[in-house]
Structure 1
Amino acid sequence: MKYFLLSKFKLLSLFNLEGVPIKILPDSVGNLCLLHYLGLRRTKLIELPSFIGRPITLETLDIRDTSIRDLPQDLEQLNKLRHLLLASSFDHKVVNLPVDIASFKDLQTLAGVKLTKRIGENLKELQQLQKLSVGKVNSNLLNQLAISINRMESLRSLTIKCDLGEQILARSFTSLIEIQMLRIEGEVLDMLGWIKNLKSDTFRIEGLCS
């Protein structure tokens, strides 16, 4: 593919490289000033360059099924992001997001993020979030995660992937009023009692181990 041709299409709003076996993202992508969608799923990329924060109009970034495990700090400039697809909800892999996610006020989808103390605390700021998939969850971080999730009034889909041997106390999540899909990988305690007290009766549960 002749990536130098991108310089002729600076008004490009959608750029999908899904399945293309590239290992390095061309610099010219950073000059696409009106880019809204960047699809990098199933490419051979192992990292994202710092210029990824340049197309500040970017609304969707998809890096699922790649070898990328850490994102650059420059991603914080993308405050118009709505869909950040880091890893599949069905995949055990997660991606480290070393930025202040509280700046992503319009975010509706956050999939495949590695849970850290900072992420757990700032999730509560994402009031537009409808789909969340979070991994590497352990007991030390679970309480803060639950506090943030309980404040999300728009959440429809939730996936929690626990560290090996970790347990989740189901009743920690008390306000999943609008939840439609719940997927938990790990040992769940008091599951049946918690389900009876949920206000939502339209959700389905997948992948539970007890």
Structure 2
Amino acid sequence: MKFHLSSLKLLRVLYLQGFQSADELPKSIGGLIHLKHLSLSYSQFKKLPSSLSKLVYLQTLDLEVDNSLQIPNIIYRMERLRHLYLPKSFHTEDGSKLRLDGLSELETLVNFNTSLCDVKDLDTLTNLRKLRASIKDKLDDLPNILKYISFTKNHLRRSSLSISCPQFCSDAELSLLRTLLGCHRLYKLSIEGRIGKLPEFYHFSSSIAKIAFKASSLEEDPMATLEKLPKLSSLTLYSSTFVGEEMACTVKGFPKLLYLKLWGLSNLKRWRIDAGAMPKLSRLVIARCENLEMLPDGLKFTTTLQKLNIRWMSDDFKDRLRAVDGDEGDDLYKVRHVPDIKLD
């Protein structure tokens, strides 16, 4: 690789996607001073050289590798960067937080992890349009993230937040949750952790389009609240997010929902879908809901449904969707209109 890099000094775009034969990106990468786009996505590089800072004209840097990456703390010097895709797992050489202050032209920032980056640096990213951030274990940085997202004078158009914490249960935590849900630039939200009580629908920003909850342990049916969100297009409920036995989707609920995944709701026994609910649903995944007795009868009204994926469910449940020797299962008529049905 060293030979090839040193002979390509006029190169403007370099894709090393899927590259697996080297642990460290060669230092000679710094000689490609005209480079504007560098992508290492899906590769297995483990270390970047400090010579990367010589790429003063670089506008796009994609570091979404498949493993943990050691990054020299020099990215803040790359002042012309517009699009930065960090890996999900990384560290600096000395263990300090990765500096991003001064990237005033940055428009896209993906995988900003508050454990690995300094939230205060966001205030210097005055041109940021898209932010995908994650918070793990502690909620200390969440107020500053919310302050940045909500600041009316920045250029942020769309933000995604992934939060993994023990719980949102105390009065202070629930107040913070309500503030989070109300952020008008919040497009996608993922929360892993117990939620004492889901706030009423009017606390949710109308801009939220995608939601994933995991291990929330909600005792009340979350559908009663979530179905009122006007722009919600994707909903995933994982791992005991709802611990009750009955769930219902009512008339005119989920007007824009396209994708629904129910995974690991082990207490769920009965699910009702009224005619007129989820009028645009195109894909439904049901997995590891061991006690769900049958498919909702109302699925026969969801004529937009294109894909139904049933995974790791009981044989009795799956038999209700099969035709054996001319005998149709009891639930097959409910989804006869669905062109793609998979039973795994």
Task: After TM superposition, list the pairs within 5 Å mapping 1:127-138 onto structure 2.
Answer: 127=126, 128-136=128-136, 138=138
Cα distance change on mapping 1:119 and 1:37 into 2, 3 Å: same
Moved more, 27-36 or 138-147: 138-147
Provide the rounded CA distance (Å) in 1 between the counterparts of 2:163 and 2:149: 15
Pick aligned residue for 1:161 from 160, 163, 170: 163
Q: Is the 8 A contact 2:28 2:51 kept in 1?
A: no
Cα distance change on mapping 1:7 and 1:45 into 2, 3 Å: same
Equivalent position SS for 1:51: helix
Matched residue type, 1:95:
F
Equivalent residue for 1:120?
A: 119
Which structure has more relative contact order (CA 8 Å, sep 6+)? It is 1
Give the TM-score normalised by the residue count of structure 1. 0.80
Provide the rounded CA distance (Å) in 2 between the counterparts of 1:46 and 1:83: 21
Provide the rounded CA distance (Å) in 1 between the counterparts of 2:89 and 2:129: 18
Provide the rounded CA distance (Å) in 2 between the counterparts of 1:118 and 1:86: 11
Matched residue type, 1:121:
K
Q: Is the 8 A contact 1:13 1:37 kept in 2?
A: yes
Provide the rounded CA distance (Å) in 1 between the counterparts of 2:80 and 2:195: 35
Equivalent residue for 1:109?
A: 108
Equivalent position SS for 1:206: strand
Q: Is the 8 A contact 2:75 2:100 kept in 1?
A: no
Equivalent residue for 1:147?
A: 147
Pick aligned residue for 1:204 from 209, 215, 220: 209
RMSD: 2.7
Alpha-carbon distance, 1:78 to partner: 0.8
Equivalent residue for 1:37?
A: 37
Cα distance change on mapping 1:125 and 1:77 into 2, 3 Å: closer
Equivalent position SS for 2:123: helix
State which structure, 1 or 2, has the greater radius of gyration over its C-alpha atoms. 2
Higher strand share: 2
Task: After TM superposition, list the pairs within 5 Å mapping 1:1-210 onto structure 2.
Answer: 2-21=1-20, 22-87=22-87, 93-96=88-91, 98-116=97-115, 119-127=118-126, 128-136=128-136, 138-151=138-151, 152-163=154-165, 165-167=166-168, 169-173=176-180, 176-188=183-195, 191-193=198-200, 195-198=201-204, 201-209=206-214, 210=216
Matched residue type, 2:189:
L
Alpha-carbon distance, 1:51 to partner: 0.9
Alpha-carbon distance, 1:188 to partner: 4.9
Provide the rounded CA distance (Å) in 1 between the counterparts of 2:47 and 2:167: 30
The one-character-per-residue Cα deviations of 1:79-135 (angstroms, maximum 9, x if unpaired) are 111221123xxxxx4434734322111222222232049722221332323132224
Q: Is the 8 A contact 1:113 1:133 kept in 2?
A: yes
Higher helix share: 1
Q: Identity rate of aligned residues, in percent?
A: 23
Provide the rounded CA distance (Å) in 2 between the counterparts of 1:105 and 1:172: 27
What 5-or-longer segments of structure 2 have no aligned partner?
217-344
Alpha-carbon distance, 1:154 to partner: 1.6
Equivalent position SS for 1:207: strand
Equivalent residue for 1:90?
A: none
